[in-house]
Structure 1
Amino acid sequence: MIEGLRQGYEDARTLKLFLDQMNWMPEEVTATPRELQTVHLDRGECDTLALAISLGKGLVLMDETAGREVARFLGVTVRGSLGVLVE
């Protein structure tokens, strides 16, 4: 989200409004764990997984197949948009 705000993406602004209303603070990833340095994922997916690993969180929301496979390999539970809507 932070990078999206820097680049002026509308969905990043929408997400920021939601986070502000919920009093949630975004975290910025400062270092990529070694496990993620050789995978071929988009920056957002790498940052999401890096943050989940660094915070010890076991669940991420991700739709991209490659990112979901890496998450599972790293022991991070992953849900997609459809899974969230169904639940």
Structure 2
Amino acid sequence: EEKEKRRLEQLERKKESQRMLDEEDAKMKSKLKAMPAKVTRAQIEDTLQREEVQKVTVEKPKTHLDLPLEENLNRRVLEEGEVEARSVEEAIAAL
């Protein structure tokens, strides 16, 4: 019975150490991939120019502030000879 316990404990230790080793390997691989490649000044300037061109060419969406004001037909001042009716009775009277 004690031998069985020891064997199980050793198996658990092996699994734990293997899991830790796998985690460490994964971290090391991600660190290696994260290292940037060397970039020349010309490449940096080229990318900056591309970004500037993209900023200029992207059109801003039109908002209500950009559009010209329209006359509110509901608040229009009546000209001479025009009649305004706000109800059926007023409309009949205007005819």
- Verify same fold: TM over 0.5: no
Query: If the length of structure 1 is used for normalisation, what is the TM-score?
Result: 0.19
The structure that is strand-richer by fraction is 1
> What is the TM-score when the length of structure 2 is the normalising length?
0.18
Larger Rg belongs to: 2
